[in-house]
Amino acid sequence: MNRAFIIQNVFILIGLFNGERHLYAQLESICRQSYANWCVLARDDGSTDQSLAVYAQFQAKHPDRFHLITHDSGNTGFLNNFSQLLSHCPPSWFMFCDQDDVWLPEKLQLFAHRMQALESQLGARTPIAVYSDVSIVDQDLAPMREVTELSLIDRTACDVASLMFGNVLTGCASMGNAALLELARPIPPDARVHDLWIAVLAAAAGRLDYINTPTILYRQHASNTIGAGLKRTGYGPFRKPHWWAAAIWREIGRRHKVMCCAQERLAERGVLKPVPALKRLAERRWPEFHLTALRIATAIAIPHRHLRALKARIMPTR
């Protein structure tokens, strides 16, 4: 190990909800990490199965590592669950964790080394998010196609404009630093998903960086909240052009709301770094922006190569 490497504590944030079937394997994989300085902060969102009982087993074995936020709010949804976890997380590096995946043993080590290198280069006050590739597996952990083959997006595209067309950051394969934690919490309801929210903020106000190595077994099953299928990109397996265009129309509209929320947050927190692409995008008038996207999407039909023309037409450059 590099002698200059500093072991920092990493808080792993896991939202629980009826995940008893795969939760034990997920928590076991965290315990097998080669990076030793970590702890888990969990919040249950009203599970009706034995998720809390499974988690309690690990609390009993490792009381200094596994912690639980207690509340009586009932089921409030996965976005609020992660927002509450961010709100209770001490200032530190943090990682989102799903309840049904398996982390590869070197995951924390890879992320910690990359995060420290970026903070050394950019400063700890710069909001930074690091994300990696993932290995797609079925419910029995049998390999499926990788995200980079399955997805319609370029996962190396880390700029604000590209995030309008595809969220490159998978929450369960990402890490944020303390500066990003303070900027991101609480998560506004219009952010839709926690991973897109931190990706936009990091790309706009600091750095979004990619590790081109799978660090988790990303389990796909019928109960996935989001998953890694084609529908994740927002363009879906639509075989008819008007279906595909309508999907782009709706998804770009949703992401426009996220960009608006991000611009408001940056202004609210006094982030001084100018982000012209984000500002111009957030100020773009509806329905002009919406209809332009629909018109072009309808004209270009399904082939992904034409998305570049769509992006060039309706996206400002940074």
In the structure encoding, which two tokens stand for residue 275, read together?
A: 């982000």
- Residue 133: CB atoms within 10 A of its CB come to 20
Instruction: Supply the mean pLDDT for the chain.
Output: 81
Q: What's the pLDDT score for residue 226?
A: 53
Closest listed residue to residue 159, CA positions, set 149, 151, 169? 169
Tell me if 3 is assigned to some domain. Answer: no
At which of 203, 229, 255 does a domain end? 229
Residue 4 has pLDDT above 60, yes or no: no
Could you say which of 214, 229, 244 is where a domain stops? Answer: 229
Choose between 130 and 303: higher pLDDT. Answer: 130
Please, what is the Cα angle at 171 between 167 and 176, to 5 degrees?
105
In this structure, of 5-9, 142-146, 278-282, the range with the lowest mean pLDDT score is: 278-282
Distance CA 242, CA 221 (A): 29
pLDDT for residue 7:
72
List the domain range (segments joined by +) for residue 41.
10-229
Query: Mean pLDDT across the stretch 33-57?
Result: 97
Choose one of 229, 255, 272: the last residue of a domain.
229
More confident residue, 228 or 232: 228
**Are residues 28 and 166 part of one domain?**
yes
| Per-residue tokens: 138 | 């079925």
Which carries the bigger pLDDT value, residue 257 or residue 20?
Answer: 20
Asked if residue 241 has a cis previous peptide bond (ω within 30° of 0), the answer is no
Residue 2 covered by a domain: no
Helix (H) or strand (E) holding 41: strand 38-44
pLDDT in tens, 53-72: 999 999 999 999 999 999 87
Q: 20 falls in which pLDDT band (50, 70, 90)?
A: very high
pLDDT at site 221: 59
Within this chain, do residues 222 and 266 fall inside the same structural domain, yes or no?
no
* pLDDT above 90: residue 50: yes
Q: How many structural domains comprise the chain?
A: 2
Question: Are 144 and 154 contained in the same domain?
Answer: yes
Indicate which CATH number applies to the domain containing 163: 3.90.550.10
Query: In 3-state terms, what secondary structure has residue 40?
Result: strand
284 pLDDT band, cuts 50/70/90, is: low
Domain-embedded: residue 265: yes
pLDDT for the residue numbered 309: 54
Average pLDDT over residues 100-115: 97
Q: Do 269 and 142 lie in a common domain?
A: no
Bridge pairing between strands 38-44 and 10-16:
parallel
Helix (H) or strand (E) holding 240: none
Percent of the chain's residues with pLDDT above 90: 54
Question: Among the listed ranges 1-15, 161-175, 184-198, 269-283, which one has the minimum average pLDDT value?
Answer: 269-283
Q: What is the pLDDT of residue 297?
A: 47
Per-residue b or e along 277-316, where b marks 16 or more CB atoms closer than 10 Å to that residue's CB: bbbebbebeeeebbeebbebbeebeeeeeebeebbeebbe
Give the list of residues 6+ apart from residue 272 with CB closer than 8 angstroms, or none: none
Between 38 and 251, the more confident residue is 38
- Helix ranges (DSSP H) in 89-207: 107-122, 147-150, 160-163, 178-184, 194-205
Give the Cβ contact number of residue 37 at 10 Å: 13
Count of residues making up the chain = 318
Residue 2, pLDDT > 50, answer: no
pTM for the model = 0.83
Residue 112 pLDDT > 70, yes or no?
yes
Q: Say if residue 161 is in the same domain as residue 258.
A: no
243 against 73, higher pLDDT: 73
Q: Which of 97-111, 131-145, 234-248 has the lowest mean pLDDT?
A: 234-248
Residue 220, pLDDT score = 82
Q: Map residue 99 onto helix, strand or coil.
A: coil
pLDDT of residue 259: 87
